[in-house]
Structures are given as C-alpha cells and as structure tokens.
Structure 1
Amino acid sequence: MRKAGELIQWTNKGGYGFVRDDAGRDYYVHISKVTPGARPRIGDMVSFETGTGRKGRPSAINVIITATSPTPSPTLRDVRQGSGNVSRFKIGLRTAAATVLTLLILWAIAGDRAPAWLGLLYAAMGAGSALLYRFDKLYALTGKYRVSETNLHVVDLCFGIIGGLAAQEVYRHKTVKPRFVATTWAIALAHTLGLAALAFGGLGGLLPGA
C-alpha cells in the first residue's frame, strides 16, 4: 500500500534524505528509489511504498514526487521551530541528559571532587560540538559537503557531549539514524557514569587539582 508524505531532509551531494508520512514516521530514501529524472527538494510532497533498507531501517521505495516544494529550502530558524509531528518525549530526552550531565559537573566542582577547569573544558568542547552540528545541519539543507559523523562523535566523546545533545535537539538533527543515535547515547552514558562516580567520590583524587 502506498503512503503519502513530505521530504523533510535531502542532501544533494549524497543523494539521500528522509520522508515523513502523515503519521509522523520518518523513512530513509535514496535517489535510486526516486522516479528517474526527478530532482528532489525539501518540502516536496511524495507518494511511496515502504521497505527495509540494508541496515534494517524503514525506507521509502518507488518514490514519486506528487507536488514540488512551493517555498525555498528551510533555514535553521525553521528547523528550530520544529514540527508538530516530532515526539516531544523523544527529543526531550536529550535535554534531560544534557541537564543531568551539567548538574553532575557542578556537583563535583562544588564538592571539591573536581577542579573548575573540568567545567570549563566541558563548556568549551560543548560549544565546539554545537557549532559542528549547526554547520552540518546547514550543509545538509543546502546540499554542501557534510561534517563527518566520526568527527561529530569524536568531539562529543572529548567532552563535547553536552553541546552535542543540545544541538541535536535545537536543530532536530541526527536524531533518526539508528547507529548514530546509539553511539551518541553510548557516549552520553559513559560521561554520565564517569561524572557520577566523580561527583559522589568514586574517583576522588584522580584528577589533578581535585
């Protein structure tokens, strides 16, 4: 049975994107599954069938563009406004995780179990991570060269995870691809456990200046 939906993300360079159906579910779509000769744009209305991609994710196949986008590609302001179809609970988990990490850092510093420079390190790397996500989202919207997922994860792992989680929520970016999402949460969990141990004395004395 065919479904109707909207192309909510598209990368010209990679030839792929995501389609959101009327129920708010997102499907990966590759240019090879779109009607030959068509030039997909964000905002296009499409008709498609569903299938399973090689990585097991839901995919759109036999995609036909039924109506082209009447408006220019969205800007980051549009992205930040979000969509009514996006689950507030799913997105809100990232805010909650970033908040918990921040509180653990403050608790550890206030209890003299961590030096102040650790908080500054998280703040600086978090700002850097947020900027990378911002640039990557802009590049995705305009079809330009993307920031590699490996680089995003490396910066998040190197104390940028709070900014990374915040940016994912603000820009509604990198919240669909299962492998990327799983790696992000693994990094967040590792930092949470480490900071919790530090905040409650489990790593006391291991950091210089603590």
Structure 2
Amino acid sequence: MRLVGRISGWNEEKGYGFVTPHAGGGSVRAFVHIKAFQPGSRRPVDGDLISYSVSKDDRGRANAVDVRYAGQKIEQRKSSRPMPRLAIGVLFLLAGVFGVLFGFIPFAIIAGYVLLSCLSYIMYSVDKAAAGKGMQRTPESTLHFVDALGGWPGALMAQQRFRHKTVKTSFQSVFWVTVLINIVATIWLIRSGAARSLTTALLGS
C-alpha cells in the first residue's frame, strides 16, 4: 500500500531525512534516504509532498522506499551500473607503477600518488566515521586540496568503499575538476622534465 506524506528534517549533507504521513495515513514517521527516490529526481527539501511504500529494516524501523514526488510519473528503472570508482583508482596506480618500470614515468610521480592516495583514503574514512557520530567533519576544501595534489585515486577507492560523498552533486563536480587539474599538472611535470629532476634529487642517481 502506498502512503502520502511530507518530507521533514531533511539533511542535505547526509542525504536523508524523514517523511511524516498525512493525518489518518495509518503509519508512523519513516526514514527516507536519497537513494529511495527515482533516478534523475531533484533533491528533496522539507515540505515536499511525496508518495511512498514502507518497508522495515532488520531492527524493525520504518523506511520509505519507491519514493515519488506528488504528480511524478512512474519511470522505468534502467539497469545502470554505478561508477567503478575502486577499479579506476587501482588501475590508475597500477598503470603508474608499470610506467615507472618501463621508464615512461619518473619514480617521484607514482610515489607521490601512492602516498597522497593513502592520506586521502584515511581522510575520507575519518570523515565518514565523524559524519555517523555527529563529530567535527573534515572540511570539503581540505579533501579537495589533497585530491588535487594527487590523492584522488585513493579518494575514489574510499568513496566506493565507504559510500561517502558519492550522492552530493556539488562535491562530485568539484572533485572531478580537481582530478582534471591534477592530471594536467602531472603531464606538465613529466614533459617539462621537472619530475625527472625531482626523482634524481630524491634517489641521488
């Protein structure tokens, strides 16, 4: 049975809130996550009128599922696979390692990527834990800065592993800009010879 209610207590940062059924709806307030909305739907705000079904989680709590805005037509859910963030991050680092082995990429470049990716992975992990406990968060600007320096492969792995920062459109838009900036900067470092000089200075050969 489908119910009708309004969004309340929506947390845009975390992508969830609650839905309060209309009087006489015969149901209690239910938890609602952004993933319960149809693909392509706009972001919800407090007061939005929606229709939904209710399911229970393993602790018996009510969750709103199959959510649609009032008047929204039922859309066929296309089978779409999520972006393989983990695979992209791992393959990029592996490609860098092979590039070093075959002499195409200076050692300093891949060493920087690995170290910064580890740092970024840890930062995303800590931020995810802080979000769940209501503790102080890592500023998004800090995450973007480390990603722009070269930590983005690790960030991709963490985003998929912890399901963190993947549904916030504004964050993802800036994130991919930092990836582009980093790649362009890395290409310049390699072609200009700066990366080779740094590797020579570090290794002494």
Letter in 2 for 1:18: G
Matched, 1:206 2:194: yes
- Is the aligned partner of 1:95 residue 2:89? no
Q: 1:57 to 1:136 in 2, by over 3 A?
A: farther
- 1-structure distance, mates of 2:95, 2:185: 10
1:139 corresponding residue in structure 2: 130
The equivalent residue for 2:44 is 59
> Do the aligned partners of 1:174 and 1:180 also contact (CA within 8 Å) in 2?
yes
Q: Is the 8 A contact 1:101 1:195 kept in 2?
A: no
- Quote how far apart the aligned CAs of 1:98 are: 1.2
**Structure 1 residue 158 displacement after superposition:** 1.4
- List gaps (5 residues or longer) in structure 1: 20-28, 36-43, 51-55, 72-86
Q: How many Å separate the matches in 2 of 1:130 and 1:183? A: 17
Displacement of 1:134: 0.6
What secondary structure is seen at the aligned counterpart in 1 of 2:44? strand
Q: Which residue of 1 aligns with 2:178?
A: 187
Q: State, as a whole percentage, how many aligned pairs show the same letter.
A: 23
Residue in 2 that maps onto 1:173: 164
Q: Tell me, what secondary structure is at the counterpart of 1:45?
A: strand
> Offset of 1:194 from its aligned partner?
5.0
In structure 1, the partner of 2:31 is: 45
The answer for the alignment partner of 1:23 in structure 2 is: none
Matches within 5 A, 1:79-118: 89-92=81-84, 94-118=85-109
For residue 111 of structure 1, report the CA deviation from its aligned partner: 3.0
Matched length: 161
Q: Which residue of 2 aligns with 1:157?
A: 148
The AA in structure 2 aligned to 1:177 is K
CA pair 175-3 structure 1, distance change in 2 beyond 3 A: farther
**Closer, same or farther: CA 67–144 of 1 in aligned 2, 3 Å:** farther
For 2:6 and 2:161, the matched residues in 1 are separated by 23
Contact 2:86-2:161 within 8 A present in 1 as well: no
Give structure 2 stretches of 5+ with no counterpart. 22-29, 60-78, 201-205
TM-score (norm: length of structure 2): 0.59
| Letter of the structure 1 residue corresponding to residue 81 of structure 2 | F
- TM (normalized to structure 1)? 0.58
Measure how far apart 1:171 and its partner are. 0.3
Give 1:73-84 correspondences, 5 Å limit. none
Structure with the bigger RCO (C-alpha within 8 Å, sep 6+) is 1
Q: Deviations over 1:96-144 (max 9, x none)?
A: 4313421442243123233323222211111111111011111111111
Q: Aligned-pair RMSD on alpha carbons?
A: 4.3
Distance 1:134 1:6, change over 3 A: farther
Higher Cα radius of gyration = 2
